[in-house]
């Protein structure tokens, strides 16, 4: 399917640590410069993400715990700094842990965002990138679990994602 044929937006729920901010990249930074920064994400993972959102009319919703310490504007700036135009970052999942005294997880937060933002007559087009299964396996093949060592720099994960679109 070419990007011209897509009318419905493809939504990616994205975790940062272990997906874009990989262990291998942090080690490489430390080796090359003597220090590492968690705000300097893996260029390969970012290139893969950029390719997908640009080609498939994608939008990013940040599901990472980074949303607790960074505003949407700050998150957009971090994505910009790492090579992805901030216009693709459209929101963050709700922090249900602060609203509920019960047991909630990232899957619950994503499900809430979907129900509030992706309700249409069509089946919503989305996928979830995360390195941990915090209630995400319930989404079946839409959940793409990354190895935190390499994150979304793994070409097999990119192929899986493209197959969902």
Q: Which domains, from first to last, does the chain contain?
A: 3-164 (3.40.50.1000)
Q: Give the model confidence (pLDDT) of 114-160 as tens digits.
A: 988 876 666 678 999 999 999 999 999 999 999 999 999 999 998 88
Select the more confidently predicted residue: 95 or 145.
Answer: 145
Q: For the chain, how many residues are written?
A: 165
**For residue range 53-62, what is the model confidence (pLDDT) as tens digits?**
999 889 999 9
Beta strand pairing call for 58-62 and 10-14: parallel
- Do the Cβ atoms of 79 and 64 come closer than 8 Å? no
0.85 exceeded by pTM: yes
Residue with tokens 């080690």: 27
**Beta strands of the chain (E only): which ranges?**
10-14, 58-62, 89-92, 125-130, 143-145
Check whether 87 has a pLDDT greater than 90: yes
């Amino acid at each position: 399917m070419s990007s011209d044929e897509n009318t419905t937006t493809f939504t990616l729920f994205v975790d940062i640590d272990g997906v874009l901010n990989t262990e291998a990249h942090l080690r490489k930074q430390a080796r090359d410069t003597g220090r590492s920064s968690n705000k300097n994400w893996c260029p390969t993972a970012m290139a893969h993400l950029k390719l997908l959102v640009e080609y498939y009319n994608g939008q990013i919703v940040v599901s990472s715990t980074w949303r607790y310490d960074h505003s949407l504007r700050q998150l957009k700036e971090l994505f910009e700094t790492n090579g992805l135009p901030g216009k693709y970052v459209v929101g963050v999942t709700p922090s249900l842990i602060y609203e509920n005294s019960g047991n909630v997880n990232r899957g619950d937060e994503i499900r809430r965002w979907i129900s509030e933002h992706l309700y249409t007559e069509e089946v919503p087009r989305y996928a979830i990138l995360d390195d941990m299964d915090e209630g995400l396996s319930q989404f079946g093949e839409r959940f793409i679990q990354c190895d935190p060592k390499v994150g979304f720099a793994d070409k097999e994960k990119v192929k899986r994602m493209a197959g969902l679109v």
